[in-house]
Chain A
Amino acid sequence: MKKILTVIFSAAVILMTASCNGVEPNDLSYIVALGIDGGENGKYNITIQYANPAQISGGEEINLEDSGVQNVTVEASDIYEAIAAADLQNSKKLFLSHTKVVIFSRSVAEEGLENMSEMFINSEELRPDVYLAVSENAREYLESMNPENEANPAKYYKMFFDKDKLTGLPHGTLKVFFDGIETGEYDTVLPVVSPENEDAKSAVFNGGKMVGELERDETELYKFLDRDFAGGFMTLQNEDTLKKPVTIKIAQKKQPRYTIDTKNKSIHVGLTLNGSVYSAPPDYEPDESAEEFEKKCEEHIKKESETLMKKVIREYRSDIFHLDEHAKKNFWTYGDFEKYKNSVDYSEYSVTVDVKFNIKKTGMVQKED
């Protein structure tokens, strides 16, 4: 009996070493990005961008002018139909599990992404940390991509969208987007990308629909007001340095503190920022006028933040500042919170932002709060 079992197990070890579904890694095309544009008759024009392994694996045959990716666009109702159609145009089988980013065209984002995000989150292939972004034309954006300083396109997208904790790019992963829609406790901001990667703008959503856009400055302010900001540079001007601005490296060590007073209908945000002067005009001495400069910065950020919050809350009627989520601590149970959530109108609330801006002086580790 032992001999028979030994033969069976040895045979299994030797013979069952192939992949279980008979598809070898060499027979697969790895999708790195998907682009979804509006189509006709309720369908979408879906661009599938997959890696070109010959260009990213190294060796003598690399032609630097060739892209590390290839694109194919098909008309389909969803990504799975698109992959099935694109498979017919490709010798290798398209594989979705390495997708790093999904780009939606503005028109598709404005129509709403609820159904699509639900399908994506339930997909076993797509990961919850896939990045989502918006572009005027998703196909054009993907076709223009030819990462020059990173041969691996998957790594390129990862590095590009991983900058979301610094100023500029909002944090927009599939999980964050889907959780926001499903819980109804906040709305999401996604990065707006363009072929030239010009200004870092952001798309503001209300539920699953894109309802507006934030400019680059507004996006930077939003990062301060959101909880995911880590650090970045900011260029400020005041009357002392009208022509030559002061560059400050900003870090946000404390998360913004939101207080939502449901009785008096007011929203208060406490913002603490720490900065150090990186460059200043030669005739300007930041140490001497630091306190005054801090005050001016605080006033500037306060004014701009309040304007931004009012614009988003009243004009876009969007909760990108997670106001519902912050209000949750006022309630004991979901029943009570749901009642509040369904009845609250933040456009009736007053908004105040208090900013504490500490600039590190020469010789000091950090100014005390």
Chain B
Amino acid sequence: MIARKELTLLTVTAIMAKMVLVFPKLLLSNSGSAAWIQVIYNVLCAAAVFAVISWLYVSDKNVIEMAGEVGGKWLKIPTGLVVFAVFMINFALIIRVFPETVKTVLLQNFDTNLITLLFMGAIGVGAALGIEAIARVNYIFIPIIGVILALLIVLLVPHYNIYNLLPILGTGAKKIFADGFHTISIYSDMLLLNVLLPYYKDAREAKKSIRAVFLITAPVTVLIILAYCLVYPYPVSGEFMIPFYQLARILHLGDFLGRFEPVFQFAWSILLLLYSALYVFALCRVWQMTFDLDFYRPLVFPVVIISGAISLLPATLGDIVTNAEFENKLAYPAAFLLPVIFGAISKIREKKRKEKSR
């Protein structure tokens, strides 16, 4: 049995992994110096959506199991495939960006294919070990990563320039509040929490988990973007592929300790390995549930190969960012709508059940 706090931290990992890769670039390209306002707006929108889902969703079963109950295999299979697609879209971006960035910042003389191969092997092993192993390793490392993150934000204080937040509305209110709505997709990983529902004691426990995820990720997300906006002025801030790495680069910890990047790279690699192992596991579990298979482990190898192949579709790192923008728009409506639809169904069924029992 996995504890609720372990499951909560797994979802935190899923959301934060995006923040340390290309997500800040999407925010900055859209609203410039007002990216921090956009991310607050996104957090508030996501909180509203999840308040609705929490109110509606009364079942202890996840969306795929619910779909099976409501419409049999004719509804269960399409629902499972949509969830699989949403996860794959979220995940394929990471699986491609990680080896590319490792090559850029750590192993310049290594071939990207070799790094990708080693990475896929590691996450495959992680996924095969199961959710308990991933959750427990994650539970050990997330607090360490949190401390490193807090340290980074505090150490950057001398580099903050308040003028970098001006003009206060950045590229304009329309950009922030209309076009910027799409970046609510950062919370599309919350669908993971729904898929992991069978591992919770009941739906009430999962709802507590949602609240905890928001309480942890909302301030951290806003602080990362705010720190980046305060250090790098727009449009310079929109130019870097991995903003978080650029923040680590400017720190100098004195002559003895020197640079902060090794600390950052440790935290970053662990976070992304855990994220990827979790996603491979989730993809296998979704497939297993969709097609009523007895075991998920035989699926690990094909899922790793398929996700690796999909991640190689964009030609360059620049294309990945463009694709990420498009894919985010594609993934988040499904990630939010499925729990709303099946939540509403569960609410109606619960109401009917209560009426019957009376």
Contact = CB atoms under 8 A, between A and B. Distances in A.
B233 A124 contact: no
B249 A326 contact: no
A127 B108 CA distance: 16
Interface residues of A, number: 26
A325 B108 contact: no
Interface residues of B, number: 28
Given A179-B232, A183-B235, A326 B163 contact: yes
Given A20-B110, A127-B249, A129-B250, A332 B104 contact: no
B126 interface: no
A21 B163 CA distance: 42
A129 B252 contact: yes
Contacts of A115: none
A294 B345 CA distance: 78
A333 B170 contact: yes
Contact of A124 (B108, B110, B250): B108
B109 interface: yes
Nearest to A127: B249
B169 interface: yes
Contacts of A334: 32-33, 167, 170-172, 234
Interface in B62-120: 104-105, 107-110
A20 B167 contact: no
Given A183-B233, A183-B235, A124 B104 contact: yes
Contact of B255 (A21, A155, A332, A335): A155
A60 B249 CA distance: 37
Contacts of B232: 179
Contacts of B236: 178-179, 182-183
A337 interface: yes
Interface string B49-61: 0000000000000
A333 B235 contact: no
B167 A331 contact: yes
A177 to B, nearest CB: 11
Contacts of B151: none
A316 to B, nearest CB: 22
Contacts, number: 66
A332 B167 contact: yes
Contact of A337 (B107, B167, B252): B167
A360 interface: no
A262 to B, nearest CB: 14
B171 A333 contact: yes
B168 interface: yes
Nearest to A324: B163
Nearest to A5: B125
Contacts of A183: 233-236
A3 interface: no
Nearest to B249: A128
A21 B107 contact: yes
Contacts of A325: 163, 166
Contacts of B249: 127-128
A361 interface: no
Interface string A236-256: 000000000000000000000
B133 to A, nearest CB: 14
A216 interface: no
A335 B235 contact: no
Interface in A162-183: 175, 178-179, 182-183
5 contacts: A20-B110, A21-B109, A124-B104, A182-B239, A333-B167
Interface of B: 32-33, 104-105, 107-110, 163, 166-173, 232-236, 239, 246, 249-250, 252, 255
Interface of A: 20-21, 124, 127-129, 155, 158, 175, 178-179, 182-183, 185, 322, 325-326, 328-329, 331-337
Given A175-B250, A328-B163, 10 more contacts: A124-B105, A178-B236, A182-B235, A182-B236, A183-B233, A183-B235, A183-B236, A331-B167, A334-B167, A335-B172
